[in-house]
Structure formats: C-alpha cells, structure tokens
Amino acid sequence: MIELEKRGDVFVLRMVAGENRFNAQFVTRFNQVLDEVENFRGPAALVTVGEGKFYSNGLDLEWMNAQSKELYVQHVINVNTLLVRTLTFPMMTVAAINGHVFAAGAMLALAHDFRIMRSDRGYFCLPEIDIGLPFSEPMGEVIRAKLPRVTAHEAMCTAKRYTAVEAVERQIVHQAATEVEVLSKAIELAQSHSGKDRKILSSIKHQIYENVIKVLAVDIPEDARKRSQR
C-alpha cells in the first residue's frame, strides 16, 4: 500500500495502492511512514510519489459511504489531520506527481513544499463541483493558501483538468518533467534542501500557514494536533 526507501538524504514514500484513494487503512499507514521519517535523526527530506498513471485520486468515497456517519466524519477529520501534518512537516517535502492527481489527492500534493508533475500524462483536478461535493472549509483553506486566487477560483469552480504545462502556467506545480525524470528531479530538489534546520523550518511553516492551521485544527483530536505541531 505504502512503501518507504531512502536515497541519500531523501526518503521516498511510494503509494502503491492503485488509485491511492484515502480510506482508513491508507491514512493510518501514511502516518506510520511519516512517523518513521520524522523520527530519523540527521539531514533528511521527503518525496512522495504514486505508481503507474496515478499519484492519488483522493477520498475513497465507496469505502466512506459504507461506514457509519460517525466513522465517515472521523475519517474526514483524519484526512484533515494528514493535510496539516504534511503542510507543516519539519523537513522539505516534494510531491513527484507521476500521474493523475484529483480531489483530496490534489490537496495532499498542494500541502507539499514543492510539486513536480509528469508532463506527458496525467491531470491535476479538483472535481468536487462536478461530483456534487462541496469543499469542506479546511480543504478549501489548503487550496486557497497554496494557489493564486484566480487559479483557485478556476480550479474549484470549473473542475478544469490541468496538464503539467498548464499547471506550471497557473502556478499549481513548480516544474514539469518527463516520466523518466519526474522522480529523479524531485529527489534532486529534495536533496538540495535536506540540510535545513528542522525546528526552524517547522516554525517558519507554522508562521506562514497560521490561519490555515487554525481552521484545520478545529476538530482535530488533541494528540494529533500536538503531533502536527512538533
């Protein structure tokens, strides 16, 4: 489902669950891997990547709709917690977007410090308007914090599917790269920032995204909130 390897000072988190949709097992495992990375002592940075034609297609709605109301709501809170944790992770993070990145998967990519997207295949898309799902306030805050206002409006209101070239133009991603280069370029970028002081970096991220964190943290359990602020 999720695998971890280390290349130099860079941890590579590989999502290998097909469309990499967020169900309870996926989110739990993602946090376990982040724990392992965060507990490492020494220079480090993090790259996340999917496999095949998917980075992530977002929430596992089929699984969620089969749960009780309480579990459904808790899962959304857990996803919000993961977004907070990624947004403020105490090392530099790079999303190597190897394929389609939709909905909550796109929000996870946006929560990274940098994004490099495959140029020959895959779309970035926030399809909520077309599938009849409003953006929760926390998820909307992540999008608005990371995208220019004009781009956020277009992406959220039209469900436009952006190619890598278009995503660079709209300042959604930082670079476009070929299939064979997207991961290597992400690792190279992450490696160049692996020596940053973690405490200072975490503090800076909390300053930058203070308002986002406040909104995201409203319904987050206290233990999870403390972990996101380490």
Output the CA–CA distances (angstroms, integers) from residue 181 to 35, 142, 149, 187, in the order listed: 28, 27, 30, 10
Question: The tokens of 10 are what?
Answer: 């860079």
Return the CATH class of domain 2-228. Answer: alpha beta
Question: Which positions ≥6 away from 58 have C-beta within 8 Å?
Answer: 21, 22, 102, 103, 104, 105, 106, 107
Supply the pTM of this predicted model: 0.93
56 C-beta neighbours (distance < 10 Å), count: 27
Question: The tokens of 168 are what?
Answer: 């660079």
Where do the domains of the chain lie? 2-228
Distance CA 12, CA 219 (A): 30
Distance CA 99, CA 121 (A): 6
Q: Tens digit of pLDDT per residue, the chain (230 long)? A: 899 999 999 999 999 999 999 999 999 999 999 999 999 999 999 999 999 999 999 999 999 999 999 999 999 999 998 998 999 999 999 999 999 999 999 999 999 999 999 999 999 999 999 999 888 888 999 999 999 999 999 999 999 999 999 999 999 999 999 999 999 999 999 999 999 999 999 999 999 999 888 887 655 444 444 443 44
N- to C-terminal Cα separation, the chain:
26
